[in-house]
Amino acid sequence: VAAEEPLNLRPDEFRRLGHAVVDRLAEHLAGLDGLPPVAPLDPEWSAAAIPPCPDGPSDPDAALAFLFGEVLPRGQLGNHPRFFSRIPGPANPLSVLADLAGAGVNVFAGSWTGGAGVSALELAVLDWLRGWMGLPGSAEGVLVSGGSEGTLTALAAASQARVDDRRAATAYISEHTHAAVGRAWRVLGFEPAHLRVLRADPAHRLSVAAVEAALALDREAGLEPFCVVGTAGNTSTGAVDPLADLAVLCAREGLWFHVDGAYGGPARLTERGREALTGIERADSLVLDPHKWLFQPYEIGAVLLREPRLLERTFSLEGGVYLRDTGDGVVEFRDRSPLLTRGSRALKLWLSLQVFGLDAFRAAIAHGIALAEHAEALLRERGGWEVVSPATLAIVCFRRAGHDDEQTDAMVRATVADGYAAPSTTVLGDRTVARLCTINPRTTHADILGTIERLERFAGC
């Protein structure tokens, strides 16, 4: 590219290449249905396939062709209507454009001086999230990269607020709590053995009685219980821990109530989800993941804290003399998470909500819940299937009657390799089960039927 300025593109060339990228993306998104949801692994592909860094310029069209032809197709397509694995990422295309706009301007959302516009937008969307989750108007938050960083951020704030002796600090989770909680616990310097992983009840929920029993033992042993983590939609089954009862327990015992709503939180936007998530509004800290069930491209998570100013007390960036020309704004987001320089994750959430409207999001979430119920009904109707965990917040777990773990793994592996649909597996009560997570608003009943037919074929029947 013959640019007049170093490391720049002429406006006409920027436009041409930009259009080429958008054209390719439009084609990709329109053609998703014809692609396998997970590309087969290519044993030949590794970093050695990336050409060495050139000293001089090279052809941008060739580089884009390499990117779109060789790099981007290798992996899973979380957007695909038949990608049902783990938690899909059914992103909407408007948010893609918002990410582009943010990168194009290179917005700075770390300080008010650096980005009053995007900081105000972030405050606004955080307040929308807060309201949808039923937290009080005084609650505050910050957008982060996802559920893992959100969990780390929330537990750092919780420990700032409540922990005296880190070595004695103790918390309670269930066997189905996401592994991000255990990682955050370790990284924050707590004793791994003091994270009590309690056996779930038969509906895969954290048992209040189990927390109470462990709490009594730990207090007797001189430990300092300080936190209970409730999950609003666990990753394996979609089951919601008894949030209201856990909130009562935490209030009574003076414990911090953290809720992991990374997966299921947005379901509160629907009538049925609101009922299922009763108690989420009593969280002291809450994590949401808009890159899951709010249809955003990676990476966007959100942390909400009931106690005002606690994020600042935990993350305030003190003493940087080079920052003295900024500050005194309405909010300094650099003081609410470990990041100083940060782009704007609010842009995409705002643009998609602004243009599609909240009702479209509500309907899309309700569609996902109904699809899993449809899948469960089909499995029951067709026979030969054992529904191990009924459809709950858009996840259904099942197994071919009479099959063992190995056969279940083989069935799911063969189905994914076939290229029509991508279910995944998990383990419930020591048994491997197949699962479908049906949160893509573009998934149809025909997609569900076709997937179950493939599973039956690869189950060997």
Ligand X SMILES: Cc1ncc(COP(=O)(O)O)c(C=O)c1O
Contact with ligand X (CB under 6 A) among 301, 343, 368, 423: 301
Q: Residue 399 carries which side chain, given as an amino acid letter?
A: R
State the binding string over 392-431 for ligand X (x if CB under 6 A, else -): ----------------------------------------
Label residues 252-274 b or e (16+ Cβ within 10 Å = b): eeebbbbbbbbbbbbbbbbeebe
Of the ranges 23-31, 142-150, 314-322, 328-336, which one interacts with ligand X (CB under 6 A)? Answer: 142-150
Measured from the CB atom, the residue of 115 and 238 that comes closer to ligand X is 238
Q: Per rule CB under 6 A, is residue 148 in the interface with ligand X? A: yes
Q: Per rule CB under 6 A, is residue 110 in the interface with ligand X? A: no
- DSSP class of 68: I
What Rg, from alpha-carbon coordinates, does the chain have?
24
Bridge-based pairing state of the strands 395-400 and 385-392: antiparallel
Measured from the CB atom, the residue of 178 and 336 that comes closer to ligand X is 178
Q: In angstroms, what is the minimal distance from the CB of 264 to ligand X?
A: 7
User: Using CB under 6 A, which residues numbered 185 to 204 contact ligand X?
Assistant: none
Distant-in-sequence, close-in-space partners of 337: CB < 8 Å, separation ≥ 6 = 142, 144, 149, 153, 303, 311, 315
Contact status, residue 291 vs residue 300, Cβ threshold 8 Å: yes
Q: In angstroms, what is the minimal distance from the CB of 300 to ligand X?
A: 9
Give helix then strand counts, H and E, for the chain.
15, 11
Alpha carbons 162 and 160: distance in angstroms, whole number = 6
Measured from the CB atom, the residue of 183 and 445 that comes closer to ligand X is 183
State the binding string over 336-375 for ligand X (x if CB under 6 A, else -): ----------------------------------------
User: Between helices 243-253 and 208-220, what is the axis angle to 10°?
Assistant: 20
Q: In angstroms, what is the minimal distance from the CB of 184 to ligand X?
A: 10
Contact status, residue 111 vs residue 276, Cβ threshold 8 Å: no
Contact with ligand X (CB under 6 A) among 80, 82, 130, 178: 178
Residue closest to ligand X (Cβ)? 147
Measured from the CB atom, the residue of 190 and 293 that comes closer to ligand X is 293
Q: Per rule CB under 6 A, is residue 87 in the interface with ligand X? A: yes
Q: In angstroms, what is the minimal distance from the CB of 263 to ligand X?
A: 4
Measured from the CB atom, the residue of 331 and 434 that comes closer to ligand X is 434
Alpha carbons 261 and 230: distance in angstroms, whole number = 9
> SS3 sequence, 299-367?
CCEEEEECCCCHHHHHHCCCCCHHHCCCCCCCCCHHHCCCCCCCCCCHHHHHHHHHHHCHHHHHHHHHH
Contact with ligand X (CB under 6 A) among 147, 242, 368, 441: 147
- DSSP class of 206: B
Residue 261 phi, psi dihedral angles, 5° rounding: -105, 25
State the binding string over 221-260 for ligand X (x if CB under 6 A, else -): ----------x--xx------------------------x
Q: Per rule CB under 6 A, is residue 268 in the interface with ligand X? A: no
Residues that bind ligand X (CB under 6 A): 87, 146-148, 178, 180, 231, 234-235, 260, 262-263, 289, 301
